Structures are given as C-alpha cells and as structure tokens.
Amino acid sequence: MGRNMQPTARLMILAFRKFERDLLRTLKKQGITDVTLADFNVLRHLDPQGLQLTTLAEHAGLSKQGVGKMVKDLEEKGYLKVKADKHDGRAKVVTYTLKGKKFMQKTIVIVGGIEKHYEILLGTHNYENLRENLLALLGKDCKP
C-alpha cells in the first residue's frame, strides 16, 4: 500500500507526531532540553488554573497512575507543582510553576510559528480549508 493509500486517521496521527517533533526540536534549539514528547501528554491537557490529577488523567486518556508518574517527573524538573485540593482533601491539584508558565508562553509562540509555516506551505486558502475540515470532523466534540 502506497503512502497516499494510508487511512486518513493514520495520516492525521503522523501529521500530529511531526508537529510535536518540530515543536520539540525548536524548544531544544531555544535551550529547553529537559522536556520530552511524553511530557506533552500532560502539559497539553493542563488547564492554566490547574486541574485535579484524576481530571488531568481523563483529559489525557491515560491512567491516573501513569499521569501521576509524569506529573512527578515534571514537578522534579520544576514545571509543575502538586497541592491538596481546597475542596476535596483527598484530591491533588496540578498547576504550573512560574517556570511552567514561561514554558507554555514560549510554546504558544513556537506553535504559532509552526502554524504560520503550514499556512505558507499549503497556501492560506488550503490552510483555512484544512482547519474548517478538521473542525467539521471533530463536530460537537471539539472543545473551544
């Protein structure tokens, strides 16, 4: 089966993985060498105001134990902090540290640059169509 005959879902996954590798490569060029592709599984799902660990695991589609291990690693690197939930003493809330917030701000700028590259590569009309079509595929499941 030729490359163009691959299922659409696989092509979307491959495109997303390339996006993540491009993001990671740019971060490394900017001196951020302690973040891995695996770390993105947690970082991309964390709300700026913080989330309970169980909710973060649900959003990431991973086990609470797996996310807990990733969060601990990111906490040791200085990107995240974990504290007891004010409303539920049994629950843990994960938030960004100042280093984590700065990292996310830098990441947003890099993502904007990658998306601009896509727009140049595809042309504005095709890029806008791609975005519209992806939103149509996501339908009501797309979170704002």
CA–CA separation, 20 and 41 (whole Å): 11
Report whether pLDDT(1) > 70: no
pLDDT at residue 2, as a whole number: 57
Classified as helix, coil or strand, 91 is coil
Sign of the alpha-carbon torsion through 120, 125, 131, 134: negative
42 and 60 in contact (C-beta within 8 Å)? Answer: yes
* Under 8 Å between Cβ of 81 and 97: yes
In the numeric block, the tokens 């959003």 are attached to: 59
Q: What CATH number is attached to the domain comprising 118?
A: 1.10.10.10
Q: Is the pLDDT of residue 126 over 80?
A: yes
Band (pLDDT 50/70/90 cuts) for residue 55 is: very high
- What predicted TM-score, i.e. pTM, was given to this entire model? 0.84
Range of the domain at 103: 3-141
How many structural domains comprise the chain? 1
Residue 144 — very low, low, confident or very high, per pLDDT cuts 50/70/90? Answer: very low
